[in-house]
Structure 1
Amino acid sequence: MKIAVYGATGMVGSQIVAEAARRGHEVTAISRKGTPVEGAAVARAADLADAETYREIAEANDAVVLATSPDRTGGPREPYVEAHRAIAKVPAAARLYMVGGFGGLKAPDGTPIKDTPDFPAIYKGESDAAFAAYEALRDAGTGVTVQAPAAVIAPGERTGKYVTAVDVPAAGESISSQDFAVAALDELERPQFSGKFFTASN
Protein backbone atom coordinates (compact mmCIF):
# COMPACT_ATOMS: atom_id res chain seq x y z
CA MET A 1 0.00 0.00 0.00
CA LYS A 2 1.15 3.53 -0.69
CA ILE A 3 0.62 5.75 2.32
CA ALA A 4 1.27 9.48 2.66
CA VAL A 5 1.63 10.89 6.17
CA TYR A 6 1.23 14.60 6.88
CA GLY A 7 2.91 15.61 10.12
CA ALA A 8 5.44 12.84 9.63
CA THR A 9 8.07 14.35 11.93
CA GLY A 10 5.76 14.55 14.95
CA MET A 11 5.47 12.12 17.85
CA VAL A 12 2.51 10.29 16.31
CA GLY A 13 3.26 10.81 12.63
CA SER A 14 6.80 9.47 12.89
CA GLN A 15 5.56 6.32 14.59
CA ILE A 16 2.92 5.78 11.91
CA VAL A 17 5.66 6.12 9.28
CA ALA A 18 7.83 3.63 11.14
CA GLU A 19 5.03 1.11 11.63
CA ALA A 20 3.93 1.36 8.01
CA ALA A 21 7.48 0.84 6.79
CA ARG A 22 7.91 -2.06 9.20
CA ARG A 23 4.99 -3.77 7.45
CA GLY A 24 6.39 -3.20 4.00
CA HIS A 25 4.27 -0.25 2.86
CA GLU A 26 5.67 2.53 0.69
CA VAL A 27 5.53 5.71 2.74
CA THR A 28 5.79 9.37 1.75
CA ALA A 29 6.66 11.48 4.78
CA ILE A 30 5.30 15.01 4.52
CA SER A 31 6.33 17.93 6.69
CA ARG A 32 6.73 21.67 6.24
CA LYS A 33 10.50 21.34 5.75
CA GLY A 34 10.58 17.97 4.01
CA THR A 35 12.74 16.48 6.77
CA PRO A 36 13.76 12.86 6.14
CA VAL A 37 11.94 10.40 8.40
CA GLU A 38 13.27 6.94 9.15
CA GLY A 39 11.40 4.32 7.17
CA ALA A 40 9.92 6.66 4.59
CA ALA A 41 10.69 6.04 0.93
CA VAL A 42 10.20 9.72 0.16
CA ALA A 43 10.38 12.88 2.25
CA ARG A 44 8.43 15.81 0.88
CA ALA A 45 7.92 19.42 1.91
CA ALA A 46 4.28 20.53 1.81
CA ASP A 47 1.80 22.55 3.82
CA LEU A 48 -1.60 21.05 4.57
CA ALA A 49 -3.18 24.30 3.37
CA ASP A 50 -1.82 23.72 -0.15
CA ALA A 51 -4.86 22.02 -1.66
CA GLU A 52 -3.26 21.47 -5.07
CA THR A 53 -0.34 19.59 -3.57
CA TYR A 54 -2.77 17.63 -1.43
CA ARG A 55 -4.67 16.68 -4.58
CA GLU A 56 -1.49 15.40 -6.20
CA ILE A 57 -0.50 13.43 -3.10
CA ALA A 58 -3.97 11.93 -2.69
CA GLU A 59 -4.00 10.81 -6.31
CA ALA A 60 -0.62 9.11 -5.93
CA ASN A 61 -1.40 7.18 -2.73
CA ASP A 62 -3.88 4.62 -1.44
CA ALA A 63 -4.26 6.39 1.90
CA VAL A 64 -3.49 9.83 3.29
CA VAL A 65 -2.93 10.16 7.03
CA LEU A 66 -3.35 13.58 8.63
CA ALA A 67 -1.23 13.48 11.78
CA THR A 68 -1.05 17.25 12.22
CA SER A 69 -2.32 19.28 15.17
CA PRO A 70 -3.54 22.81 15.90
CA ASP A 71 -1.07 25.41 17.12
CA ARG A 72 0.15 24.79 20.66
CA THR A 73 2.27 27.90 21.07
CA GLY A 74 -0.47 30.46 21.53
CA GLY A 75 -0.83 31.29 17.84
CA PRO A 76 -4.09 31.31 15.88
CA ARG A 77 -5.73 27.96 15.24
CA GLU A 78 -8.15 29.01 12.51
CA PRO A 79 -5.55 28.38 9.73
CA TYR A 80 -5.48 24.73 10.82
CA VAL A 81 -9.25 24.47 10.49
CA GLU A 82 -9.24 26.35 7.18
CA ALA A 83 -6.65 23.95 5.77
CA HIS A 84 -8.99 21.05 6.48
CA ARG A 85 -11.89 22.91 4.92
CA ALA A 86 -9.79 23.38 1.80
CA ILE A 87 -8.74 19.76 1.43
CA ALA A 88 -12.32 18.67 2.16
CA LYS A 89 -13.21 20.12 -1.22
CA VAL A 90 -10.62 18.02 -3.05
CA PRO A 91 -12.13 14.86 -4.54
CA ALA A 92 -9.80 11.91 -4.06
CA ALA A 93 -10.03 8.13 -4.14
CA ALA A 94 -7.40 7.71 -1.42
CA ARG A 95 -8.67 6.70 2.00
CA LEU A 96 -8.53 9.69 4.36
CA TYR A 97 -7.36 8.96 7.89
CA MET A 98 -7.13 11.62 10.59
CA VAL A 99 -5.45 11.59 13.97
CA GLY A 100 -8.03 13.24 16.19
CA GLY A 101 -8.16 14.35 19.80
CA PHE A 102 -9.42 12.69 22.97
CA GLY A 103 -11.69 15.69 23.60
CA GLY A 104 -13.77 14.80 20.56
CA LEU A 105 -14.96 11.58 22.19
CA LYS A 106 -18.22 11.60 24.14
CA ALA A 107 -19.03 11.44 27.82
CA PRO A 108 -21.77 9.01 28.98
CA ASP A 109 -24.46 11.68 28.50
CA GLY A 110 -23.35 12.28 24.90
CA THR A 111 -21.54 15.57 25.56
CA PRO A 112 -18.16 15.89 23.83
CA ILE A 113 -15.50 15.44 26.50
CA LYS A 114 -13.96 18.76 25.49
CA ASP A 115 -17.17 20.49 26.58
CA THR A 116 -17.45 18.85 30.01
CA PRO A 117 -16.67 20.88 33.17
CA ASP A 118 -13.62 18.83 34.13
CA PHE A 119 -11.87 19.08 30.77
CA PRO A 120 -8.58 21.01 31.27
CA ALA A 121 -9.01 24.60 30.06
CA ILE A 122 -5.43 24.63 28.75
CA TYR A 123 -6.40 22.08 26.07
CA LYS A 124 -9.84 23.47 25.20
CA GLY A 125 -8.83 25.70 22.27
CA GLU A 126 -6.70 22.99 20.69
CA SER A 127 -9.45 20.41 21.11
CA ASP A 128 -12.11 22.72 19.67
CA ALA A 129 -9.96 23.35 16.59
CA ALA A 130 -9.21 19.65 16.08
CA PHE A 131 -12.90 18.80 16.27
CA ALA A 132 -13.85 21.61 13.90
CA ALA A 133 -11.31 20.28 11.40
CA TYR A 134 -12.85 16.83 11.70
CA GLU A 135 -16.34 18.25 11.19
CA ALA A 136 -15.20 20.00 8.02
CA LEU A 137 -13.99 16.70 6.58
CA ARG A 138 -16.99 14.74 7.80
CA ASP A 139 -19.59 17.21 6.56
CA ALA A 140 -17.96 17.33 3.13
CA GLY A 141 -18.57 13.61 2.71
CA THR A 142 -14.91 12.62 2.53
CA GLY A 143 -15.54 9.37 4.41
CA VAL A 144 -12.76 10.32 6.84
CA THR A 145 -11.88 7.84 9.57
CA VAL A 146 -10.68 9.42 12.81
CA GLN A 147 -8.54 7.72 15.42
CA ALA A 148 -8.28 9.45 18.78
CA PRO A 149 -5.79 8.50 21.46
CA ALA A 150 -6.53 7.75 25.08
CA ALA A 151 -6.46 10.66 27.54
CA VAL A 152 -2.67 10.33 27.70
CA ILE A 153 -0.40 9.47 24.78
CA ALA A 154 3.38 9.42 25.01
CA PRO A 155 6.37 7.53 23.60
CA GLY A 156 6.74 4.15 25.22
CA GLU A 157 6.70 0.47 24.41
CA ARG A 158 5.34 -1.22 21.30
CA THR A 159 3.30 -4.05 22.80
CA GLY A 160 0.99 -4.58 19.84
CA LYS A 161 -1.93 -4.81 22.27
CA TYR A 162 -4.74 -2.29 22.58
CA VAL A 163 -8.48 -1.97 22.98
CA THR A 164 -10.83 0.14 20.88
CA ALA A 165 -14.18 1.90 21.18
CA VAL A 166 -16.30 4.05 18.86
CA ASP A 167 -17.26 7.61 19.89
CA VAL A 168 -16.50 7.03 23.58
CA PRO A 169 -13.28 6.39 25.53
CA ALA A 170 -11.99 2.84 25.55
CA ALA A 171 -10.89 1.07 28.71
CA GLY A 172 -7.49 2.34 29.75
CA GLU A 173 -6.31 5.91 30.31
CA SER A 174 -3.19 5.93 28.17
CA ILE A 175 -1.52 4.56 25.06
CA SER A 176 2.03 4.64 23.75
CA SER A 177 2.59 6.43 20.47
CA GLN A 178 3.99 3.13 19.18
CA ASP A 179 0.80 1.19 19.93
CA PHE A 180 -1.30 4.04 18.57
CA ALA A 181 0.56 3.53 15.30
CA VAL A 182 -0.04 -0.23 15.47
CA ALA A 183 -3.77 0.43 15.79
CA ALA A 184 -3.65 2.89 12.90
CA LEU A 185 -1.96 0.43 10.55
CA ASP A 186 -4.24 -2.40 11.62
CA GLU A 187 -7.20 -0.20 10.66
CA LEU A 188 -5.65 0.89 7.37
CA GLU A 189 -4.89 -2.71 6.42
CA ARG A 190 -8.11 -4.27 7.70
CA PRO A 191 -10.77 -1.56 8.02
CA GLN A 192 -13.31 -1.96 10.82
CA PHE A 193 -14.11 1.67 11.55
CA SER A 194 -14.37 3.29 8.12
CA GLY A 195 -16.00 6.71 8.39
CA LYS A 196 -16.15 6.53 12.18
CA PHE A 197 -14.56 8.34 15.13
CA PHE A 198 -12.86 5.65 17.18
CA THR A 199 -10.20 5.44 19.83
CA ALA A 200 -7.48 3.04 20.92
CA SER A 201 -5.85 2.67 24.32
CA ASN A 202 -3.58 0.20 26.10
Structure 2
Amino acid sequence: MKKILVFGATGMIGQRIVTELVNRGHDVTGLSRSGPVKGDVTQAAELAAGHDVVISAIAPPRDGTEPEAPFLAATRALIDGVREAGVRRLITVGGAGGLEVAPGLDLVDTPDFPQIYKKEALSQRAALGLYREVTDLDWTYVAPAAIIQPGERTGTFRLGGDRLLADEQGNSVISAEDYAVAVADEIEKAEHVRRRFTVAY
Protein backbone atom coordinates (compact mmCIF):
# COMPACT_ATOMS: atom_id res chain seq x y z
CA MET A 1 0.00 0.00 0.00
CA LYS A 2 1.23 3.47 -0.90
CA LYS A 3 0.15 6.84 0.46
CA ILE A 4 -0.91 8.83 -2.60
CA LEU A 5 -1.96 12.45 -3.09
CA VAL A 6 -4.04 13.31 -6.17
CA PHE A 7 -4.45 16.87 -7.44
CA GLY A 8 -7.45 17.38 -9.71
CA ALA A 9 -9.29 14.48 -8.11
CA THR A 10 -12.80 15.61 -9.10
CA GLY A 11 -12.14 15.79 -12.83
CA MET A 12 -13.21 13.12 -15.31
CA ILE A 13 -9.81 11.39 -15.24
CA GLY A 14 -8.87 12.24 -11.66
CA GLN A 15 -12.03 10.66 -10.25
CA ARG A 16 -11.29 7.40 -11.99
CA ILE A 17 -7.67 7.34 -10.89
CA VAL A 18 -8.77 7.80 -7.28
CA THR A 19 -11.35 5.00 -7.61
CA GLU A 20 -8.84 2.61 -9.15
CA LEU A 21 -6.22 3.27 -6.49
CA VAL A 22 -8.68 2.98 -3.61
CA ASN A 23 -9.95 -0.32 -5.03
CA ARG A 24 -6.37 -1.58 -5.01
CA GLY A 25 -6.01 -0.78 -1.33
CA HIS A 26 -3.89 2.36 -1.51
CA ASP A 27 -4.28 5.23 0.96
CA VAL A 28 -5.50 8.03 -1.31
CA THR A 29 -6.15 11.70 -0.59
CA GLY A 30 -7.97 13.45 -3.44
CA LEU A 31 -7.74 17.22 -3.74
CA SER A 32 -9.42 19.76 -5.96
CA ARG A 33 -9.98 23.50 -5.97
CA SER A 34 -13.72 23.10 -5.48
CA GLY A 35 -14.30 19.66 -3.96
CA PRO A 36 -14.83 18.59 -0.36
CA VAL A 37 -11.06 18.40 0.26
CA LYS A 38 -9.59 21.57 -1.16
CA GLY A 39 -6.06 22.24 -2.28
CA ASP A 40 -4.13 23.09 -5.42
CA VAL A 41 -0.63 22.60 -6.75
CA THR A 42 0.61 25.91 -5.34
CA GLN A 43 0.32 24.23 -1.93
CA ALA A 44 2.17 21.08 -2.99
CA ALA A 45 5.08 21.54 -0.57
CA GLU A 46 2.72 21.51 2.39
CA LEU A 47 0.17 18.99 1.12
CA ALA A 48 2.52 16.40 -0.36
CA ALA A 49 4.66 15.94 2.75
CA GLY A 50 4.50 12.37 4.05
CA HIS A 51 3.18 10.86 0.82
CA ASP A 52 4.87 8.21 -1.33
CA VAL A 53 3.43 9.39 -4.63
CA VAL A 54 1.90 12.60 -5.97
CA ILE A 55 -0.39 12.53 -9.01
CA SER A 56 -1.36 15.61 -10.98
CA ALA A 57 -4.60 15.30 -12.93
CA ILE A 58 -4.96 19.04 -13.45
CA ALA A 59 -5.65 20.38 -16.93
CA PRO A 60 -4.84 23.69 -18.63
CA PRO A 61 -7.53 26.33 -17.98
CA ARG A 62 -10.45 26.38 -20.41
CA ASP A 63 -11.85 29.78 -19.50
CA GLY A 64 -10.94 31.49 -22.77
CA THR A 65 -7.61 32.85 -21.57
CA GLU A 66 -4.25 31.81 -22.98
CA PRO A 67 -3.66 28.58 -21.05
CA GLU A 68 0.05 27.95 -21.55
CA ALA A 69 1.56 30.48 -19.13
CA PRO A 70 -0.71 29.63 -16.15
CA PHE A 71 -0.40 25.89 -16.81
CA LEU A 72 3.39 26.06 -16.94
CA ALA A 73 3.38 28.14 -13.76
CA ALA A 74 1.23 25.49 -12.08
CA THR A 75 3.54 22.73 -13.34
CA ARG A 76 6.60 24.51 -11.98
CA ALA A 77 4.85 25.04 -8.63
CA LEU A 78 3.97 21.35 -8.50
CA ILE A 79 7.51 20.20 -9.31
CA ASP A 80 9.07 22.61 -6.82
CA GLY A 81 6.54 21.74 -4.12
CA VAL A 82 6.94 17.99 -4.50
CA ARG A 83 10.70 18.44 -4.37
CA GLU A 84 10.44 20.56 -1.22
CA ALA A 85 8.13 17.99 0.38
CA GLY A 86 10.73 15.29 -0.14
CA VAL A 87 8.53 13.14 -2.37
CA ARG A 88 10.40 11.54 -5.28
CA ARG A 89 7.56 9.93 -7.26
CA LEU A 90 5.42 12.24 -9.40
CA ILE A 91 2.89 11.06 -11.99
CA THR A 92 1.22 13.53 -14.31
CA VAL A 93 -1.82 13.15 -16.55
CA GLY A 94 -0.60 14.39 -19.90
CA GLY A 95 -2.08 15.06 -23.30
CA ALA A 96 -2.04 13.17 -26.60
CA GLY A 97 -1.28 16.21 -28.75
CA GLY A 98 2.45 15.99 -28.18
CA LEU A 99 2.68 12.37 -29.35
CA GLU A 100 4.34 11.74 -32.71
CA VAL A 101 2.26 10.57 -35.67
CA ALA A 102 5.30 10.54 -37.97
CA PRO A 103 8.99 11.23 -37.41
CA GLY A 104 9.26 14.86 -36.28
CA LEU A 105 5.49 15.48 -36.55
CA ASP A 106 3.31 15.68 -33.46
CA LEU A 107 -0.44 15.13 -33.49
CA VAL A 108 -1.12 18.74 -32.45
CA ASP A 109 0.77 20.00 -35.53
CA THR A 110 -1.30 18.03 -38.05
CA PRO A 111 -3.79 20.00 -40.22
CA ASP A 112 -6.87 18.18 -38.92
CA PHE A 113 -6.16 18.67 -35.22
CA PRO A 114 -9.29 20.28 -33.67
CA GLN A 115 -8.71 23.97 -33.04
CA ILE A 116 -10.81 23.85 -29.87
CA TYR A 117 -8.19 21.62 -28.21
CA LYS A 118 -5.06 23.12 -29.77
CA LYS A 119 -4.07 25.58 -27.03
CA GLU A 120 -4.59 22.94 -24.36
CA ALA A 121 -2.49 20.44 -26.32
CA LEU A 122 0.33 22.92 -26.83
CA SER A 123 0.27 23.69 -23.10
CA GLN A 124 0.57 19.99 -22.25
CA ARG A 125 3.45 19.57 -24.68
CA ALA A 126 5.25 22.53 -23.13
CA ALA A 127 4.74 21.01 -19.67
CA LEU A 128 6.38 17.79 -20.84
CA GLY A 129 9.39 19.91 -21.75
CA LEU A 130 9.58 21.08 -18.14
CA TYR A 131 9.41 17.53 -16.82
CA ARG A 132 12.19 16.44 -19.15
CA GLU A 133 14.50 18.94 -17.44
CA VAL A 134 13.87 17.34 -14.03
CA THR A 135 16.54 14.83 -13.02
CA ASP A 136 16.05 14.65 -9.24
CA LEU A 137 12.44 13.39 -9.22
CA ASP A 138 11.09 10.07 -10.49
CA TRP A 139 8.41 11.59 -12.74
CA THR A 140 6.25 9.88 -15.34
CA TYR A 141 4.11 11.62 -17.97
CA VAL A 142 1.12 9.47 -18.97
CA ALA A 143 -0.30 10.44 -22.36
CA PRO A 144 -3.75 9.14 -23.27
CA ALA A 145 -4.98 8.11 -26.69
CA ALA A 146 -6.26 10.85 -29.00
CA ILE A 147 -9.75 10.28 -27.58
CA ILE A 148 -10.27 9.61 -23.87
CA GLN A 149 -13.78 9.42 -22.47
CA PRO A 150 -15.81 7.62 -19.80
CA GLY A 151 -16.33 3.97 -20.63
CA GLU A 152 -15.60 0.48 -19.38
CA ARG A 153 -12.75 -0.85 -17.28
CA THR A 154 -11.50 -3.77 -19.37
CA GLY A 155 -7.92 -3.99 -18.12
CA THR A 156 -6.87 -4.75 -21.69
CA PHE A 157 -4.95 -2.11 -23.65
CA ARG A 158 -1.60 -1.39 -25.26
CA LEU A 159 1.26 0.74 -24.00
CA GLY A 160 3.58 2.79 -26.16
CA GLY A 161 6.27 5.43 -25.90
CA ASP A 162 6.36 8.76 -27.71
CA ARG A 163 4.31 7.64 -30.73
CA LEU A 164 0.51 7.87 -30.90
CA LEU A 165 -1.11 4.43 -30.73
CA ALA A 166 -3.98 3.71 -33.13
CA ASP A 167 -5.86 0.59 -34.25
CA GLU A 168 -6.00 -0.82 -37.78
CA GLN A 169 -8.76 1.63 -38.68
CA GLY A 170 -6.69 4.57 -37.47
CA ASN A 171 -8.72 5.11 -34.29
CA SER A 172 -6.85 6.15 -31.15
CA VAL A 173 -9.12 5.64 -28.15
CA ILE A 174 -8.95 4.74 -24.46
CA SER A 175 -11.57 4.79 -21.72
CA ALA A 176 -10.82 6.95 -18.69
CA GLU A 177 -11.28 3.81 -16.60
CA ASP A 178 -8.55 1.88 -18.43
CA TYR A 179 -6.31 4.95 -18.47
CA ALA A 180 -6.64 4.91 -14.67
CA VAL A 181 -5.62 1.24 -14.64
CA ALA A 182 -2.45 2.14 -16.57
CA VAL A 183 -1.66 4.93 -14.10
CA ALA A 184 -2.14 2.62 -11.13
CA ASP A 185 0.00 -0.06 -12.79
CA GLU A 186 2.78 2.49 -13.27
CA ILE A 187 2.64 3.48 -9.61
CA GLU A 188 3.00 -0.15 -8.58
CA LYS A 189 5.57 -1.25 -11.18
CA ALA A 190 7.54 1.94 -12.00
CA GLU A 191 8.33 0.86 -15.56
CA HIS A 192 8.47 4.35 -17.13
CA VAL A 193 10.49 6.49 -14.75
CA ARG A 194 11.55 9.91 -16.10
CA ARG A 195 9.81 9.42 -19.41
CA ARG A 196 6.50 9.56 -21.20
CA PHE A 197 4.36 6.62 -22.11
CA THR A 198 0.97 6.34 -23.75
CA VAL A 199 -1.99 4.00 -23.46
CA ALA A 200 -4.64 3.06 -26.05
CA TYR A 201 -6.68 0.10 -27.29
Q: Is the 8 A contact 1:163 1:171 kept in 2?
A: no
Q: Is the 8 A contact 1:61 1:94 kept in 2?
A: no
- Give the letter aligned to residue 96 of structure 1: L
- Give the letter aligned to residue 182 of structure 1: V
CA distance in 2, matches of 1:34, 1:9: 7
Q: Which residue of 1 aligns with 2:49?
A: 59
TM-score (normalizing by structure 2): 0.89
Q: Which residue of 1 aligns with 2:174?
A: 175
1:182-201 equivalences under 5 Å are: 182-201=181-200
The alignment partner of 1:104 has SS state of: coil
Q: Which residue of 1 aligns with 2:3?
A: 2
Structure 1: any 5+ residue segments left out of the alignment?
36-43
Instruction: Pick from 157, 178, 185 the counterpart of residue 162 of structure 1.
Output: 157
TM-score (normalizing by structure 1): 0.88
Q: Is the 8 A contact 1:166 1:197 kept in 2?
A: yes
State the identity %.
42
Instruction: Pick from 47, 59, 62 the counterpart of residue 69 of structure 1.
Output: 59
- Give the letter aligned to residue 94 of structure 1: R
Which shifted more, 55-64 or 14-23? 55-64
- Give the letter aligned to residue 112 of structure 2: D
Q: Which residue of 2 aligns with 1:31?
A: 32
Task: Provide, for residues 151-184 of structure 1, a one-character-per-residue CA deviation record: whole Å limited to 9, x for no partner.
Answer: 1111111111110100011244111111000111
Q: Is the 8 A contact 2:45 2:80 kept in 1?
A: no
Instruction: Pick from 69, 83, 89 the counterpart of residue 74 of structure 2.
Output: 83
CA distance in 1, matches of 2:117, 2:166: 22
CA RMSD of aligned residues (A): 1.5
Task: Provide, for residues 91-139 of structure 1, a one-character-per-residue CA deviation record: whole Å limited to 9, x for no partner.
Answer: 2333100100000111221222212223222211111111222222321
CA distance in 1, matches of 2:20, 2:165: 22
- Number of residue pairs matched by the alignment: 191
- Give the letter aligned to residue 189 of structure 1: E
The alignment partner of 1:107 has SS state of: strand
Q: Which residue of 2 aligns with 1:38?
A: none
Q: Does 1:99 align with 2:90?
A: no
Structure 2: any 5+ residue segments left out of the alignment?
none
* Distance apart, 1:27 and its partner CA: 0.3
CA distance in 1, matches of 2:10, 2:97: 23
